[in-house]
Structure 1
């Protein structure tokens, strides 16, 4: 589906999914809010409030109800609270403040209160209804995504998260990139104590990085945990549009691609040309062939990219095309957690 022919109703009731074993319905596209805010914070690629509002408004109009925010994100968007599902985060980077950097009871509680206060400035809802649907224990820092706190007992973290659900500050708890043994330990600790368990996992997964298929994804499937992949387009490498640009250099510094990665990108582009669609739509439609993928997180800076992403929902890949895209992949270093 091209940008020119996309329907205003492309995201409908068939394009929503139940997140894991919960009753929460989210759109099959998760809008990454890191693209919106203050340019001084992250660079020219971040949209200001004025620039972002048309993109966010159109995304909501087209049915994208799932937004991924962080400890500090967007400012002053006048959007009714009950129309969206908000995921926010704790576990700030240490260079901000040592007491915002971990998963201790103090850190979690103060970061949740801070996030809800900022969300109250952004959205239209009563103070008594300030909550986040999903609280993720993670934050991206430089090229790493840190979600496990080696300095805090997992019992302290999980009991605090349980308390937040019980008092209504959050509805569900989620987590991000980590080793399977860490995720298993957290879930086991919670179950043994009758506490809330994680219902979602935000982990790195795309055509160029599939190491999660070894242990984490089978575990998520076994436990009925929803998967919300981050960087489904490999920081733009799978779009086929940034080759030879400064952005490609930045993405390569993060993902450190090799010859195999380049083969996968070439095959993604070739498949897109054969089908008359964009490489981004090929990469995303491949993810939607995986039943364990619920709602990939995408950053959208222009309306044309929004239409492009939504168009991927209607793309169907054949078994031969899937095999062609997956065939070059080879094991690589674990990335995104440590």
Structure 2
């Protein structure tokens, strides 16, 4: 039997007991009425009714004792039900808070596993001969066309990306994989972009750069997770940088799919908001799609990596990313905010 079933049973016992006490109270009132009528009739009968008057008096005393017992019973049950209510609410909150914090961790873990693969992709593709030749070869347009075709082939298999860019050391895009969707990008200067500058600072081909989720105006202002690394001469892990490869993860649909598939019941989803928060507690994904990239959520982890707390009528459950394999994560949180009284839901079922 689940805790919620036990609480429902307790409320049913309380309801039935109150109902029966109500019956006792009604019988007591009727007994008092009969006793009063009996005393009146005994008085009219004079001496002949004196014995009957004694019985009527006893009936009255009996009714008083029953009424007192009824009052004491109602008070005791009410007091104990209040304690059950308090304990039940705390237990329900603890159970749901712990479960929701586990689900919050699951959300951020799934996202990090996904992004770990992106960090592998960028380091792998940067060693592709077509990518290296695009920034090293003197052969011109044929080499760049071949590189663009190679990127397009990758994108047909890896549909989670909006585009892949090969950039020379001056910060000019020389090839991209979706020239049909994003025409005219070649020749565009992206040297001021954070992902480009961070990629040039990587120490070896084993390193990569990743930036916070942001909107990219060159990709129709879509929200992206940008991963990048230096393209190195001959594709050698310790070769000198000759360019940069930037890959742009299509953030919104992928993140929305992760938080929408969380294991919550339909009732739980109705009263809950599932979110991913970045290290600055900015909302980067939300089940209700509100505040994405604009809202800072007032999370209070209080130094904990995982946990939950109540704030008024809100239950806030959270978990800090644990990272995945060699991907340390970006300090993101999974977070579930639920509202309403859990105890009231049990009491009113």
TM-score by length of 1: 0.25
- Between Structure 1 and Structure 2, the one with more strand by share is 2
Q: Which has the higher contact order (CA 8 A, sep 6+)?
A: 1
User: Which has the greater radius of gyration?
Assistant: 2
